[in-house]
Amino acid sequence: MRSLIGRSRLPFVLAILVLSCLVLAVFFPLLDYQFVDYDTSVHLLDNPTVRGLTWKNAKAIFLGERTTSSYYPVRALSYALDYSIWGLNPRGFKLTNILIHLANVLLVFWLVLRLFRCSAESALPNDWWDASVAASVASLFAVHPLVVEPVAWVSGREELLMVFWTLCCFHCYLAARKRGNTHGDLSPSAIGWYVAATLCCVLACLSNAVAAILPALVATWDILTLGRTGWRRILWGTAALWVIACCTIVGKKVAGRQEQSVRDQDAQQAELRAEIAGELGLAQDVKERTTSRWSQFRPFLVLDVFFRNVKSIVLPSNLAITYEAVIPRPEVVLLGLATLAGLLVLMWILRRHTTALFGLLWFGLALGPTAQIMPHHIHRADRFLYLPLVGLVLATAMSLRPLNRLLPRKIAVLGCATLGFTVLVALCVTSSRQIRTWQNSISMWENCLLVGPRNVIAHMHLADRLVKERGDHEGAYEHLTATLKENAFNFQALSQFAAFLATDANETHRDYKLAIRLASWAGEFCQWQDPEVVHTLALVYNNYAVSLGARGEYQQAIDLFAKAIHTDANYPAPLLNLALLRSACADPTYRNPEEAVRLAEQGCRLCTNPGANEWMILAMAYEQTGLADQAVAAVEKAVTAAETAGDRDYAHSLRRRLRLFRSRESAP
């Protein structure tokens, strides 16, 4: 960087200090916030491969790490490193995100300076002006509200890492080109920088598949700076990057086949959709828009999403971790078309200003994959705009730099300082408000529903959090009901509502028959490929059977227990409950001690760590068949389990029963 800072280092050192303090000040509150529930449990909390930076974990990460049809080993490796330092303390993971973002901000600052020196149309360097402009635009990237999501959300680290390695790759490539121009393309230093750029490209693609556009960014820069006469140098310099990008795209397509297959199967279930819509009801306006030819035409979706993304960048308000699925609206599509035309016109106007044009091309190329040109099940997300924002910052910097010589110096400095400070304060205030919505899962999902009241995912997750964290069953019921009203074709929503209806502590919400229908519909939608849906149906059958058994309807209870066992053979609860009924039923007609023993033994084997109740069911079954020794041994295990769980009263009660069992064993 020494060649970039001119005669005085002071303005650049001050700029780096200001940028660092700005990032840390704005994002510091995140260190006191919790993990949120959206994907974090799958990627981090329940992922054994990130529990420490070991060779075994690293091997599992690179050879077997898959999350939702995506492959993010670099992110998982960074989790393992964090875990080695912090354990599962959210403060450490969020600090790492902040530091990676800070590194990206400084890399953008450095890249702006490099492009200033590459700008053929610029005047002689002015250290203070260049440092001020570069720091100003880098600060906009540093605190823009769109960057809050990838920084605040631990699972959003994939975007931070992808942009980090993308910027490193571009810097290395610029260094390679510079060494090649000075010493020849095959000089050792140039080759070394090309190798470093290739390695950074690999790491970027292993962080997020969107990095596959990296060779397009590099080739665009070469085309703008080398012209048509340098096509051989362009091909030679970017060949390795294109190979990496192609491998990334192929890998992404292969991993996404199963997801696409599920979507294709889902599209064929029109009769099931009609049945559900007729019985539960679906918001009429949503039904009409989703079935119209207009909404199904992909170019309209691309233009709609494109406009919404640009609007979020220019006017960053009403931001959330998830948005409602985009259904193209005619007026938004027309605005998207006008915005695209305006961007193309601006590029034409700047066609002779290489560096400014490059920034806009970076913005457009990076924005492409986020606008559904490449189909993705997530239509919009703030984190998708993290990389495009870099290009917009570059274009802004290249446009501001000439003001120093086009306007009187004092006017240029004063005007730019006033405008920049006003915009920066506005962005800091907006980002600070956005950061506060990330305090915990409930605040995050409540913010989502403020932004989009019909957000099905937000309703589902908020209902789950309200029950688990606040015990608010009424609130959860309202959100789950709203979920089905908005989209009764979401198998996860159907399954979650079914489980709620079968397990809620408030008996007024219990509806086992409706729960069975919901769980069955969920299974048909996912072709019974989702184990959670299968388990939910077995859970509903089991709880319904317990309820029937308590009312004396033993035969129906037995039939439902059998259905639960058949539905999920690895679910121990129906095995144990049926064993209890068969060994201690009030009606001796339904007792079958031998079957009870078999069921109880199988249930205890399926339990990862059988508790006192499980061992007592087995003990009762043994007692009914006259296996006194086995019964005593099972009660002893029940006592130990109760003591281990810290339930002293229950353990004391079980000791009395143990003495009773032993007295029966010793009786003649």
Q: What is the dihedral of CA 216, 218, 220, 222, to 10 degrees?
A: -140
Tell me which long-range contacts 516-522 makes (C-beta under 8 A, separation of at least 24): 516/540, 516/541, 516/544, 517/279, 518/494, 519/494, 519/495, 521/272, 521/275, 521/276, 521/491, 521/494, 522/491, 522/492, 522/494, 522/495, 522/498
> What average pLDDT does this structure show over 293-298?
62
Using pLDDT thresholds of 50, 70 and 90, give the confidence band for residue 67.
very low
pLDDT of residue 12 exceeding 60, the answer is yes
What pLDDT, on the 0 to 100 scale, is given for residue 101? 97
> What average pLDDT does this structure show over 17-42?
91
Of residues 225 and 599, the one with the higher pLDDT is: 599
User: Partners of 70 in the beta sheet?
Assistant: 67
> What average pLDDT does this structure show over 105-129?
78
What pLDDT, on the 0 to 100 scale, is given for residue 261? 43
What pLDDT, on the 0 to 100 scale, is given for residue 410? 65
**Average pLDDT, whole number, for the chain?**
85
What pLDDT, on the 0 to 100 scale, is given for residue 362? 95
Question: How many C-beta atoms surround the C-beta of residue 581 within 10 A?
Answer: 23
What pLDDT, on the 0 to 100 scale, is given for residue 263? 45
Centroid of chain to Cα 199: 26
**5 φ/ψ angles, rounded to the nearest 5 degrees:** -95, 5
Phi-psi region of 227 (alpha: psi -120 to 50; beta: other; left: phi over 0): left
Q: How far apart are the first and last CA of the chain?
A: 94
What is the DSSP secondary structure assignment for residue 43, as one 8-state letter?
I
> What average pLDDT does this structure show over 550-558?
93
What pLDDT, on the 0 to 100 scale, is given for residue 280? 63
What is the DSSP secondary structure assignment for residue 324, as one 8-state letter?
P
How far apart, in whole angstroms, are the C-alpha atoms of residue 438 and residue 321? Answer: 10
Q: For the chain, how many residues are written?
A: 668
How far apart, in whole angstroms, are the C-alpha atoms of residue 130 and residue 403? Answer: 11
**312 φ/ψ angles, rounded to the nearest 5 degrees:** -65, -30
3-state SS, residue 437:
coil
* Domains of the chain, first to last: 166-259 (no CATH), 296-401 (no CATH), 490-666 (1.25.40.10)
Contact call for residues 320 and 380 (beta carbons, < 8 A): no
Centroid of chain to Cα 504: 28
Give tens-digit pLDDT for 609-636.
888 899 999 988 998 888 888 888 888 8
Using pLDDT thresholds of 50, 70 and 90, give the confidence band for residue 64.
low
Give tens-digit pLDDT for 358-399.
999 999 999 888 777 767 778 889 999 999 999 999 999 888
What pLDDT, on the 0 to 100 scale, is given for residue 267? 47
pLDDT of residue 516 exceeding 70, the answer is yes
- Look-up of token digits 């009409």: 288
Mapping DSSP onto H, E and C, the string for 232-300 reads HHHHHHHHHHHHHHHHHHHHHHHHCHHHHHHHHHHHCCHHHHHHHHHHHCCCHHHHHHHHCHHHHCHHH
pLDDT of residue 260 exceeding 80, the answer is no
Contact call for residues 541 and 561 (beta carbons, < 8 A): yes
- Look-up of token digits 């605005």: 335
Number of separate helices (H) and strands (E) present in the chain: 33, 0
What pLDDT, on the 0 to 100 scale, is given for residue 209? 87
Contact call for residues 106 and 98 (beta carbons, < 8 A): no
> What average pLDDT does this structure show over 393-408?
78
How far apart, in whole angstroms, are the C-alpha atoms of residue 383 and residue 146? Answer: 7
User: For the ranges 1-15, 470-484, 588-602, which has the lowest average pLDDT?
Assistant: 1-15
What is the DSSP secondary structure assignment for residue 408, as one 8-state letter?
-
Listed in sequence order, the residues at least 6 apart from 118 whose beta carbon sits closer than 8 Å to its beta carbon are 174, 225, 354, 355
Closest CA to 222 of 265, 181, 280: 181
What pLDDT, on the 0 to 100 scale, is given for residue 488? 74
Give percent above pLDDT 70 in the chain: 85
Q: What is the dihedral of CA 578, 584, 588, 593, to 10 degrees?
A: 70
3-state SS, residue 67:
strand
How far apart, in whole angstroms, are the C-alpha atoms of residue 193 and residue 202? Answer: 14
Taking each helix axis from N to C end, the angle separating 612-624 and 593-606, rounded to the nearest 10 degrees, works out to 160
Distances (CA, A) of 593 to 63, 151, 569: 49, 59, 21
What pLDDT, on the 0 to 100 scale, is given for residue 378? 82
Listed in sequence order, the residues at least 6 apart from 78 whose beta carbon sits closer than 8 Å to its beta carbon are 96, 157, 161
Give tens-digit pLDDT for 575-586.
999 999 999 888
Listed in sequence order, the residues at least 6 apart from 648 whose beta carbon sits closer than 8 Å to its beta carbon are 642
What pLDDT, on the 0 to 100 scale, is given for residue 218? 93
How far apart, in whole angstroms, are the C-alpha atoms of residue 408 and residue 418? Answer: 16
Question: How many C-beta atoms surround the C-beta of residue 136 within 10 A?
Answer: 25
What pLDDT, on the 0 to 100 scale, is given for residue 254? 63
Using pLDDT thresholds of 50, 70 and 90, give the confidence band for residue 573.
very high
What pLDDT, on the 0 to 100 scale, is given for residue 253? 66
Q: What is the dihedral of CA 76, 80, 86, 87, to 10 degrees?
A: 100
Question: Model's pTM, two decimal places?
Answer: 0.87
User: For the ranges 66-70, 304-308, 338-342, which has the lowest average pLDDT?
Assistant: 66-70
Of residues 105 and 506, the one with the higher pLDDT is: 105
Give percent above pLDDT 90 in the chain: 48
